[in-house]
């Protein structure tokens, strides 16, 4: 329960409030694009506990039982037919203080840590992590004779080589995790490349299938309709590039005029 209608890429602008009450915290607000909310037992909810602090410093993270009174989950039907995402309405929902994750006002640090773990593993949604040297999609193209076409063969082998680079990067990240190192901004690189790989693979398979790829009973229809979302879910491609530019390449960050301004003032945008 991160994103909201007015807080997507600018996640620190969340308006969902958490007010201290006897026995815990009362949550009120609306979340959207909440993954697996329709069948989850628990969710993590980023909420604002201090509206007078700058937006990144007035947030706290909570674990929330999805069946609790005041939690209303409404699935969102996507164009691929799935209902992976939901919108969640919080109306007087109570989270016990023992379900607070981290210190009060330290929710942004918890958020960035959680997102780093998510992005480091986000590319698993594309079938590129296998250790075999002949992935299923490439074997399917070969069996159907599509690799006799020089253009199709060039596209396929380019994607295969790209996937191999990602796989080696995954192995390096896994070795780093086993050594006890926490995920860092390199997870944004894996997420970015995983999304590109997924979209290029489904586009390649659709090209090979021809006109049948326009039918909803084509074997790859769900993946084909899922493809565009890969550059949005878990943080947009643009956000990942910003992270890599600032934290890996050391490029100057974008101007942020609201960093030290109370959120109650900056929430609607600053004026001269």
Asked if pLDDT for residue 36 goes beyond 60, the answer is: yes
Same domain, 118 and 90: no
Question: Does 53 map to a domain?
Answer: yes
CB 160 within 8 A of CB 138: yes
pLDDT single digits (tens) 48-77: 999 999 999 999 999 999 999 999 999 999
Name the more confident of 176 and 140: 140
Last residue of a domain, one of 90, 105, 120: 105
Does any domain span residue 119? yes
- pLDDT for residue 114: 87
Whether residues 168 and 53 share a domain: the answer is: no
Specify the range with the lowest mean pLDDT, choosing from 20-29, 36-45, 142-151, 247-256: 247-256
What is the pLDDT at residue 177?
77
Q: What mean pLDDT comes out for the span 129-152?
A: 82
Q: What are phi and psi of 135, to 5 degrees?
A: -65, 160
Write out the residue range of the structural domain in which residue 98 sits.
11-105
Does residue 101 sit in the same domain as residue 116? no
Per-residue pLDDT at 271 exceeds 90: no
Find out whether 16 and 90 touch, Cβ atoms under 8 Å: yes
Mean pLDDT over residues 232-238, rounded?
84
SS3 labels along the chain: CCCECCECCCHHHCCCEEEEECCEEEEEEEEEEEECHHHCCEEEEEEECCCCCECCCCEEEEEEECCCCCEEEEEECCCCCCCCEEEEEEEEEEEEHHHEECCCCCHHHHHHHHHHHHHHHHHHHCCCCCCCCCCHHHHHHHHCCHHHCHHHHHHHHHHHHHHHHHHHHHHHHHHHHHCCCCCCCHHHHHHHHHHHHHHHHHHHHHHHHHHHHHCCCCCCHHHHHHHHHHHCCCCCHHHHHHHHHHHHCCCCCCCCCCCCCEHHHHCCCCCC
Which residues neighbour 270 within 8 Å (Cβ) at sequence distance 6 or greater?
257, 258, 261
Q: Which of 105, 125, 151 is at the close of a domain?
A: 105
Which among 6-20, 107-121, 132-146 has the top mean pLDDT? Answer: 6-20
| 131 and 202 in a common domain | yes
Same domain, 39 and 152: no
Whether residues 72 and 129 share a domain: the answer is no
Query: Is the per-residue pLDDT at 172 higher than 90?
Result: no
Query: Which range (122-136, 210-224, 235-249, 255-269) has the least confidence?
Result: 122-136
Task: Tell me if 210 is assigned to some domain.
Answer: yes
- Span of 23-37, 137-151, 164-178 with lowest mean pLDDT: 164-178
Residues 123 and 96 in one domain: no
Q: How many domains would you assign to the chain?
A: 2
Q: Which of 58, 86, 105 is the last residue of a domain?
A: 105
Residues classed as catalytic: 118
127 and 75 together in one domain: no
Whether the pLDDT of residue 214 is over 80: the answer is yes
Check pLDDT > 80 for residue 30: yes
Check residue 121 and give its pLDDT: 60
On whether residue 241 sits in a domain, the answer given is: no
């Amino acid at each position: 329960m991160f994103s909201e209608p007015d807080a997507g890429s600018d996640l620190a602008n969340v308006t969902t409030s958490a007010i201290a009450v006897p026995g815990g915290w009362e949550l009120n607000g609306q979340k959207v694009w909440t993954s697996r909310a329709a069948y989850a037992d628990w969710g993590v909810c980023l909420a604002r506990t201090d509206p007078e602090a700058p937006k990144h410093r007035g947030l706290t993270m909570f674990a929330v039982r999805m069946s609790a009174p005041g939690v209303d989950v409404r699935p969102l039907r996507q164009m691929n037919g799935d209902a992976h995402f939901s919108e969640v309405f919080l109306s007087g929902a109570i989270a016990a203080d023992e379900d607070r994750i981290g210190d009060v006002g330290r929710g942004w640090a918890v958020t960035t840590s959680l997102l780093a773990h998510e992005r480091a593993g986000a590319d698993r949604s594309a079938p590129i992590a296998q250790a075999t040297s002949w992935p299923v999609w490439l074997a399917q193209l070969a069996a159907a004779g599509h690799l006799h076409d020089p253009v199709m063969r060039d596209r396929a082998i380019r994607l295969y080589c790209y996937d191999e680079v990602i796989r080696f990067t995954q192995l390096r990240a896994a070795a780093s995790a086993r050594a006890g190192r926490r995920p860092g901004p390199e997870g944004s690189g894996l997420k970015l490349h995983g999304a590109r790989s997924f979209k290029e693979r489904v586009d390649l398979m659709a090209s090979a299938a021809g006109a049948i790829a326009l039918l909803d009973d084509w074997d790859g229809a769900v993946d084909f309709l899922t493809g565009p979302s890969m550059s949005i879910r878990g943080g947009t491609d643009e956000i990942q590039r910003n992270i890599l530019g600032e934290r890996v390449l050391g490029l100057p960050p974008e101007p942020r005029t609201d960093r030290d301004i109370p959120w109650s003032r900056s929430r609607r945008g600053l004026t001269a």
